[in-house]
Structure formats: structure tokens, C-alpha cells
A and B are shown apart, each in its own frame.
Chain A
């Protein structure tokens, strides 16, 4: 049981260490960046690479062959995290518009139609 570690043990240990370092880097980014729109970027590092490294490490260390159900977690995160991120971006944009902050871009729904003077087919 406790002989020389095989290649999968070494790979799993490397993946676990990498996931720890990536998660710490993303948290430092969340803590230190100055603006909310900039602070939205570092969690993506943890959500994608952090979850994939831990999942691959878990798949490498199982003794009962390859297990596919561990892939449920990265797939679930790949579906749900963009929804939350887009909702939070809309929250930040709407609240900054409501607060009449100076450099917030205006809504694009009404003026975008008048800006495109050419019809759709001619472009």
C-alpha cells in the first residue's frame, strides 16, 4: 500500500497543489482589485481551472476504474456560473445607472436601432 507512488499519485498531488494555488490567487484578486467589474474576473480562474484540477485529481485517485459521475460538478458549474455572473453584471450596471455615476454606459436598446442606418441585408 505504501510503496513508491505511481504516476497517477504524483499527477493527483500536482493537480491538488495547483488547485490550491489557483484558488488563493483568485481570492487575492477578489480582495485587492479596485472596482466591482474588475473583481468579477478572478473568480473565473477558480470556477474553471480550480474545479477541473480537483475533479481530475479525484478521478486519478479512485481505485475502481474511471468514474464519470465526478464530471457532473464541472459541467454543472459550466452551466450555472455564467448565469450568476451575467445576473451580477446586470445588477452592477443597473445600480450604477440608478446612482447616476458618470462613466456608466447608457442602455443600448433604443439608440442602437437608429445608429444602424443600413438595413440588415446590405451589410
Chain B
């Protein structure tokens, strides 16, 4: 692994941290409930990207499976929250 890729990995992780902070500001401030749900979905996605970049850096496939699980849980939780905000119950 060259120093070029290592520096790029560090830069990408810093960018994800900055983006997560910006999204958390929207999550806390968000005027409506759907704003908060979409911000939480984007936060799940940032965690998934961090896992993928760590799998590049550490050359380990376990991180990939963690990223897949985070993507699945992010979809399920966002869909359930959206249904709850829409109807007041998750399963009708």
C-alpha cells in the first residue's frame, strides 16, 4: 500500500467526519420529522462509507460485511421511521 493511497484514505475519512458533523447539525436542528429521518439515513450511509474505506486501509473483508449490515439496517430503520411518521404505526 503506497503512501498515496494511505493519504487518500486519511483525507476521505476526514471528509466523512466533517460531512457527518454537518448532517448531525441538520438532525438536531431539523424543523420537521422527515428532515430528521432523512438526516439519520444519510448518517447511516456515512458510517457505511467509513467501513468500506477502512476495509481498503486494513485489507480485511470483515469490514465489508459490516458495511453491508449497516446498509441493510439503515434501510430498514429509515423505512420504519418513515412509515411511523406517515401513519402513526409501523405495521398496519
Which residue numbers of A lie inside 8 Å of B, CB to CB?
1-2, 5, 9-10, 12-14, 16-17, 19-21, 23-24, 26-28, 30-31, 36, 39-40, 43, 46-47, 50-51, 54-55, 57-58, 61, 63, 69-70, 72-73, 76-77, 80-81, 83-84, 87-88, 90-92, 94-95
Contact = CB atoms under 8 A, between A and B. Distances in A.
Most buried by A among B16, B18, B55, B83: B16
B5 A30 contact: no
Contacts of A24: 15, 18-19, 22
Given A27-B20, A36-B35, 7 more contacts: A9-B4, A13-B8, A16-B12, A27-B42, A58-B52, A87-B78, A87-B79
B59 to A, nearest CB: 8
Nearest to A3: B2
A58 B22 contact: no
Contacts of A54: 12, 49, 52-53, 56
Given A9-B5, A46-B45, A30 B82 contact: no
B54 to A, nearest CB: 10
Interface residues of B, number: 51
B82 A73 contact: no
B42 A46 contact: yes
Contacts of B62: none
Contact of B83 (A39, A87, A92): A87
Contact of A30 (B3, B22, B48, B72): B22
